[in-house]
Structure 1
Amino acid sequence: MDAAAELESGAEDRGGAAVPATSAVPVQQLSLWPPPRSVQGSARRRRQLTGLLVGTAAVLLIAGGTAAAWVLIGDDTKEAPDTTVPAEAFVGSWAGEMTQVDTDGGHVADWHAEVRIEEGAEQGSTAWTTFTCSGTLRLTAADNDRRVYTYTETADPEERCVDEAELIVWPDGDTGLKAEWSSVTREGTRMTSTGLFVDTGRT
């Protein structure tokens, strides 16, 4: 593909992504001790309180009160919710209009892409109909709601397309799949194309 048709490679994930942020651990309890009169007295009280808590927890555990002991000691570990989108959400026939920009964000071209993702969402095929190019898709990464595919060209009769590119897709509510193609031209110019895929099997 020439400079007006080639895609950017290795583009960073635009969707915000993919790495969930860890929240600060909330305060579990407040100290009811008055201000210490001395460092020595404060340290003594901390040792006494710690010994009392450990002793009470041991008694509860021996008596079979495991749940009560955990409440007393406090358990700050919380499992992150599972937000992974199932593979079935990506399977199907998709199509959409892409808008291509260069490294500086300047508009280069608008083009049409058709994508088919097979059962299991691990592979598929695509046709860039505007440029008469086609290729295969192979899953290379999956992170929460995103799937990353490597495009390998299989047909380019007019020699207008890149040999390899990267496709990132993620759900856009009930609308379809947001898509980002990225690659680099033979001249070394980075290109990115973004757009929305709609499920052609439902239309």
Structure 2
Amino acid sequence: MDAAAELESGAEDRNGAAAPSTSAVPVQQVSLWSPPRAVQGSARRRRRITGLAVGTAAVLLIAGGAAAAWALVGGDAEDVPDAAVPAEDFVGSWAGEMTQVDTEGAHVADWHAEVRIEEGAERGSTAWTTFTCSGTLDLTATDNDRRVYTYTETADPEERCVDAAELTVWPVAGGLNAEWSSVTREGTRMVSTGLLSDGS
């Protein structure tokens, strides 16, 4: 029997008898058509939103990791805030014994220094009583817990002192650590270190 004829006239039943003829009805088992546009668009949007969310999360994760790594290695000095000691920790009158050495580290002299740092810790004065010298201090730099002052001589009646020096101080238990650095008239670099205690 012809398949097209069977579809039009009907099919035989199990006993081989012809089934009654009905009008032709198309068979709808599998749709070969794509889903309606509304369904396609929403699926596409879901995929796009999911992709954007995953991409954004990846970017944030990478940026967070880079920021953490930058914080661990230190980054640019300008971007990292100083853990500076407050100016008040430097203000006051201080005094102590200094030990002076030359470029090779050989002992040169021991001498007594008195330092006064004014309110704001930007200026001060000093007297090197052992050598009867005195001068002014002006803040030139800060570096975390350290302050650097330029010493300018104002009195040296016996001409035993240098005209200029650099004083670096930083707080420690019991006072301020002090380091004086200077170059003599002959060109020899001298460094004096010691502890300045509260001299008030």
Letter in 1 for 2:85: V
**In 2, Cα distance between equivalents of 1:54 and 1:96:** 67
Q: Percent identity?
A: 73
Q: Which residue does 2:195 correspond to in 1?
A: 196
Q: Which residue does 2:107 correspond to in 1?
A: 107
Assess, with a 3 A threshold, how the Cα gap between structure 1 residues 133 and 69 changes in structure 2: closer, same or farther.
same
- Cα displacement string for residues 95-129 of structure 1 (whole angstroms, at most 9, x for unaligned residues): 01000001100000000000000011000000000
Runs of 5+ unmatched residues, structure 1: 1-51, 61-67
Letter in 1 for 2:150: T
Structure with more relative contact order (C-alpha pairs < 8 Å, separation 6 or more): 1
Letter in 2 for 1:88: E
**In 1, Cα distance between equivalents of 2:115 and 2:63:** 54
**In 2, Cα distance between equivalents of 1:101 and 1:161:** 15
Assess, with a 3 A threshold, how the Cα gap between structure 1 residues 153 and 53 changes in structure 2: closer, same or farther.
farther
Q: Which residue does 1:178 correspond to in 2?
A: 177
TM-score by length of 1: 0.63
Letter in 2 for 1:132: T
Runs of 5+ unmatched residues, structure 2: 1-49, 72-79
**In 2, Cα distance between equivalents of 1:157 and 1:146:** 31
**In 2, Cα distance between equivalents of 1:101 and 1:81:** 35
Deviation at 1:77, TM superposition (A): 1.6
Q: Which residue does 1:74 correspond to in 2?
A: 64
**In 1, Cα distance between equivalents of 2:137 and 2:83:** 24
Deviation at 1:70, TM superposition (A): 3.6
Q: Which residue does 1:154 correspond to in 2?
A: 154
**In 2, Cα distance between equivalents of 1:105 and 1:72:** 51
**In 1, Cα distance between equivalents of 2:103 and 2:137:** 24
Query: In the TM superposition, what are the counterparts of 1:77-156 in structure 2 within 5 Å?
Result: 77-78=67-68, 82-156=82-156
Query: In the TM superposition, what are the counterparts of 1:26-37 in structure 2 within 5 Å?
Result: none
Q: Which residue does 1:56 correspond to in 2?
A: 54
Considering only CA atoms, is the larger Rg found in Structure 1 or Structure 2? 2
Assess, with a 3 A threshold, how the Cα gap between structure 1 residues 71 and 103 changes in structure 2: closer, same or farther.
same
Assess, with a 3 A threshold, how the Cα gap between structure 1 residues 109 and 73 changes in structure 2: closer, same or farther.
closer
The answer on whether the counterparts of 2:82 and 2:143 sit within 8 Å (CA) in structure 1 is no
Could you say what secondary structure the match of 2:174 adopts? Answer: coil
Higher helix content, 1 or 2: 2
RMSD: 2.3
**In 2, Cα distance between equivalents of 1:118 and 1:197:** 15
- Cα displacement string for residues 122-163 of structure 1 (whole angstroms, at most 9, x for unaligned residues): 000000000000000000000100100000000011111111
